[in-house]
Amino acid sequence: MYRVQKILSLLGILSRRDCESKIMLGLVKINNELAKIGSKVSIGDKITYEDKDYLITSELLEIDTKILIYHKPINEIVSLNDPQKRPSVFDNLPDVNGKWINIGRLDYNTSGLLLFTNNGELANKMMHPSSNIVRTYEVIIKGHINKKKYELVTNGVDIGHNETGKFINIKADRNQKDKFIVKLNTGKNREVRRVFNSINCKVISLKRIGYGNIELDSLASQCFEFIETSRLSEYL
């Protein structure tokens, strides 16, 4: 038997900690009965959360962890449900036992590296703020960056909504003066764009080329590539 927290985490629905709080609020049921902290489930049981039922099957409990890199182009969304019916990154992914869960996201106008897994626990660990995973972006901007602005964006700037954004590193391209490589270890919404905007620079093009020790390299746009789980072993 398995704790209900583990199952909801494997499914990528809730982290184990979030699951405990939802159970305490009476939002999780097992076979139509309110779940309790420590409640366990087995094959054939049904978990209900947010009016959705999840049947526990042997296939679910025997998930073979898969991880892949996908090169997202601009004009694709990172969602399965879009009222506007725009193209989704999920349209280009292969079948998998379980379901693909995106590790982080990129906005509609940002391209580059996205990681996917069918292991919800892995996804939750990597997306948790305590992971401090370094994200690397290739940015083309409109505007001028001097020494003072370099210092501002690496020390931290006000990006609105009571948030501070900063780069842990910013490096100019030797051959293209409006192109930069920036690194940051937080995942605030549109953070790169907001940091540049704070110093009166507009982002023209934004592409993620690295996520931790995983790099996009020469993977073509709209293509995917499986990677070994050992490359993310510290989170498994």
Are residue 105 and residue 172 in the same domain, yes or no?
A: no
Residues designated catalytic: 107
Q: Is residue 235 part of a domain?
A: no
* Beta strands 67-72 and 28-30, pairing class: unpaired
If asked whether residues 126 and 138 sit together in one domain, one would say: no
Q: Tell whether 116 and 146 lie within a shared domain.
A: no
The Cα–Cα gap between 101 and 72 comes to 15
The answer on 115 and 184 residing in a single domain is no
Contact in structure between 101 and 107 (CB atoms under 8 Å): no
| Residue 89 domain-assigned (yes or no) | yes
List the CATH number of the domain containing 85.
3.30.2350.10
Please, which residues bridge with residue 138 across strands? Answer: 181, 207
Whether 23 maps to a domain, the answer reads yes
**Same domain for 38 and 153:** no
Q: Which of 41, 61, 81 is the last residue of a domain?
A: 61
The CATH number of residue 19's host domain is 3.10.290.10
**Residue 43 pLDDT class (50, 70, 90 cuts):** confident
Total structural domains in the chain? 3
Does 109 lie in the same domain as 89? yes
188-197 pLDDT, tens digit each: 999 999 999 9
Q: Which residue has the higher pLDDT, 68 or 124?
A: 68
Report if pTM > 0.85.
no
95 and 197 fall within a common domain: no
Residues 50 and 149 in one domain: no
Annotate 97-134 with b (16+ C-beta within 10 A) or e (fewer).
ebebbbbbebeeebbbbbbbbbbbbbbbbbbeeebebe
**Residue 30 covered by a domain:** yes
Structural domain range at position 139: 134-211
234 inside domain: no
Residue 226's Cβ-count burial label (10 Å; 0-12, 13-18, 19+) is: exposed
pLDDT over 70 percentage in the chain? 100
Whether the per-residue pLDDT at 42 is higher than 80: the answer is yes
